[in-house]
Amino acid sequence: LAELRATVTALRTPSEQNPSVRCLFPARARFLERELNERFPESSCPELEAWRERHVGGQVGLTFVNGYLGNPASFFGHLLLHIEVNASANPDSSGSAQAGRAGRLLDTSINFGADIPDGEGLATYMAKGLFGGYDARYSETNFYRNSSIYSEREMRDLWIYKLDLSDREHALLVDHLYEVMHRYYKYLFLSQNCASRIARTLRLASPELETPGSNALWTTPESVVVGAARAKSASGVPLVEDAEYV
């Protein structure tokens, strides 16, 4: 409650000490404006505006990567978020089907993963992964980089499950991803992994998403995809509107 009050105060009365609260926490500001029915003073946020402009109107999807025996953390697959960039940021995203496939390579791919030092031994890797010995973070890159790693180098299958989000849900999700990008979290192979973090992020925008709760012993990428396939969007239609093999 104290943090909430401090956030509202900082948003209402920006000062030299906290001029960028709205820039650092745009999703919080968006949510509080709706709940409190008020508008907070505007702030100049060039990086945030560039992020929004890149993804305005872009289709959001789940990228499911199938399991990989070469890495214990990937036995059950991997999950990423996929956000199309708009036409002005990616001219190749429109036009023919071939141009659309080429344009996808420049879309934004959101990953959540552990920062693992080079040369980490298998026993240490497993122990730290199971008991929270690694820091982890969200990161973003162009889709072609992750496609190169998973599809071409590791020969894994990738599927994109396109989600039917309203404009409000889409804007809230894009703002929240900006908030969490590059911030550090504890990583647990079974319960605080790519699947659980991305599911938690999606539930912020789409509470209808059914996935294992925060107290579940484990969360797998497959369980999140299944939960999304069973969920309904705010308009009452299936949350997953299309699935595409890439």
Q: Which amino acid is at 173?
A: L
User: Which secondary structure element, helix H or strand E, spans residue 232, and what is its range?
Assistant: none
Rounded Cα distance between 68 and 177, Å, is: 27
pLDDT of residue 94: 53
- Residues 6+ positions from 82 with CB-CB distance below 8 Å: 60, 61, 62, 63, 107, 108, 109, 110, 143, 160
State residue 131's pLDDT score: 92
* 153 phi-psi bin (left φ>0, alpha ψ -120 to 50, beta other): alpha
pTM: predicted TM-score of the whole model, two decimal places? 0.88
Give Cα separations from 104 to 59, 61, 93 (angstroms).
11, 12, 6
Token readout for 229 is 């396939």
C-alpha to C-alpha distance for 74 and 51, rounded to whole angstroms:
30
DSSP run (H or E) holding 188? none
Residues in a beta bridge with 134: 187
DSSP state of 74: G
pLDDT of residue 100: 53
- The number of residues making up the chain comes to 246
pLDDT < 50 regions, the chain: none
Q: What pLDDT does residue 101 have?
A: 57
**CA angle at 163 for the pair 157 and 169, rounded to the nearest 5°:** 140
Measured CA distances, 11 to 35, 43, 150, 171 (Å) = 14, 10, 42, 19
Give pLDDT, residue 20.
81
Q: Measured between alpha carbons, how far is residue 60 from residues 46, 174, 196, 202, 236 in Å?
A: 23, 9, 17, 10, 18
Which pair of structure tokens corresponds to residue 2? 């104290």
Rounded distance between C-alpha atoms, residue 188 and residue 133, angstroms = 8
